[in-house]
Every structure is written in C-alpha cells, then in structure tokens.
Amino acid sequence: MTDRLRLDEQLCFPLYAASRAMTSVYRSKLDKLGLTYPQYLVMLALWERDGRSVGELCTALSLDSGTLSPLLKRLQATGLIERERSTADERRVEIRLTGSGRALRAQARDIPNEMAEAVGLSMDEIVALRDALRRMTETLTSEREKS
C-alpha cells in the first residue's frame, strides 16, 4: 500500500516547485525589462486590452485589490501606466498604458517563446498542461467557495 503522506506522492509539491522554477526563469528575463513577475502579468492583461478597470484586472489576474493596488502604484511610478477615475463613475478607476508601457510590449515579444522552449515540453504538452491547470483551478476555486 502506498503511503499517501509521502512528499513524492503529493500533487501540491511539484506544482509549488514548478511555480518557483518558472518564476525564477521569468525573473532573469524580466529583470531586463525592469518588471517583476506580478507586474509582467498586469502588463500582459493591459497589452491584451488597455483601459481596464481595477476590478476587471483583479478578475483577470485572480488578485484582490489589496494585492493589485501596490503593483499598479509601482507601475505608475515607473511611467508604464496611468490610473484615472472614470468621469462616468467616480468609484471606477481605469488603468491605461502610457507610451512607454505600450513600447515595452515590443521588448517583451520574445518572452513567451523563450519560456515555451525553457520548459522542455512540446507545444501540445504545454497546451494540455495549461488547460488541465485551468480546470483544476476552477474546480478548487468552486470548492473553496462552497466552504
């Protein structure tokens, strides 16, 4: 009988170790852009669709506003984004890329391909793993909300 409390029997540990390893490789690439990994995620969301509200970014990145706000302040301080209150709804803060923020996209263009190569999996394996992790996250999030 397998001892289910062995470290090498756990799913959580390889996920944790892979996340740390992935973030470390990203760090070496993002340092050249002056971004941290969480800041890069914000920039990806804004390069995908500029002018998102803070709430929309929170949803897209699965972050709460208490975590996202300091990231946005730092990105604003570096001149990559602007935060503006909506004229239609003062409660809504919209995040927009500056010219520098848009220009940074070109410098980051090769990072996804470099990371795909770095993980040592085929593109089919990467897609399957990504899709499985998304399903797992949705299931765990749903389970947590039931509790």
Mean pLDDT of 95-120: 97
Mean pLDDT of 7-22: 96
116 and 75 part of one domain:
no
Q: What is the mean pLDDT of the chain?
A: 95
Residue 22: inside a domain, yes or no?
no
**pLDDT tens string 28-62:** 999 999 999 999 999 999 999 999 999 999 999 99
Total structural domains within the chain? 2
Q: In this prediction, what percent of the chain has a pLDDT beyond 70?
A: 100
Identify the domain containing residue 56 by its residue range. Answer: 34-107
Residue 97: inside a domain, yes or no?
yes
46 and 61 part of one domain:
yes
Band (2; pLDDT cuts 50, 70, 90) = confident
State the pLDDT at residue 1.
Answer: 80
pTM, rounded to two decimals: 0.91
**Comparison of pLDDT for 133 and 146, the residue scoring more:** 133
What is the torsional sign of CA 85, 90, 91, 92? Answer: negative
116 and 146 part of one domain:
yes
Q: Which helix (H) or strand (E) holds 52?
A: strand 52-53
Residue 26: inside a domain, yes or no?
no
In angstroms and rounded to an integer, the radius of gyration of the C-alpha atoms of the chain is 18
| C-beta separation of 47 from 97 below 8 A | yes
Q: What angle do CA 37, 42, 46 make, to 5 degrees?
A: 140
pLDDT at 12 over 90: yes
